[in-house]
């Protein structure tokens, strides 16, 4: 049986899914878009911060309070297929992927809480 320190070390060395995510206001088709090197953690964090009213964009918090939880969803738009990239390479790939999604969504008439296009 492995000890607790080894289990913790093994967990920290696991590659987490990295990619582009959005918090989508379905009523107004407005989004907060972002990237993360750990998608499961960022999704849990945003679910919590929205419910607590401590999200970094006040306009989004106001809409969340006004429209209610059912009019919002947090979803992953795209994931990177990670191999042996460095942290710097992952960041660069995430930024490129985010820009591609911003262009696509902007063309679909989406406005953003956090990006001025």
pLDDT digits (tens, 9 = 90+) for 29-85: 999 999 999 999 999 998 899 888 888 889 999 999 999 999 999 999 999 988 888
The structural domains of the chain, with segments of one domain joined by +, span 18-112
**pTM of the model as a whole:** 0.83
The crossing angle, in degrees rounded to 10, of helices 39-52 and 58-67 is: 70
The CATH architecture of the domain made up of 18-112 is 3-Layer(aba) Sandwich (3.40)
pLDDT in tens, 63-79: 999 999 999 999 999 99
Cα-based torsion angle of the residue sequence 49, 52, 58, 61 in order, rounded to the nearest 10 degrees: 90
């Amino acid at each position: 049986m492995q000890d607790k320190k080894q289990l913790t070390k093994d967990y920290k060395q696991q590659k987490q899914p990295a990619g582009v995510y959005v918090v989508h206001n379905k009523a107004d088709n407005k989004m907060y878009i972002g990237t993360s090197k750990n998608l499961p953690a960022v999704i849990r964090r945003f679910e919590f911060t929205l419910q607590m009213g401590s999200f970094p964009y006040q306009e989004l918090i106001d809409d969340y309070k006004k429209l209610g939880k059912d009019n919002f969803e947090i979803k992953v738009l795209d994931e990177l297929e990670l191999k042996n990239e460095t942290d710097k390479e992952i960041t660069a790939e995430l930024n490129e992927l985010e820009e591609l999604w911003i262009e696509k969504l902007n063309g679909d008439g989406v406005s953003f809480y956090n990006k001025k296009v």
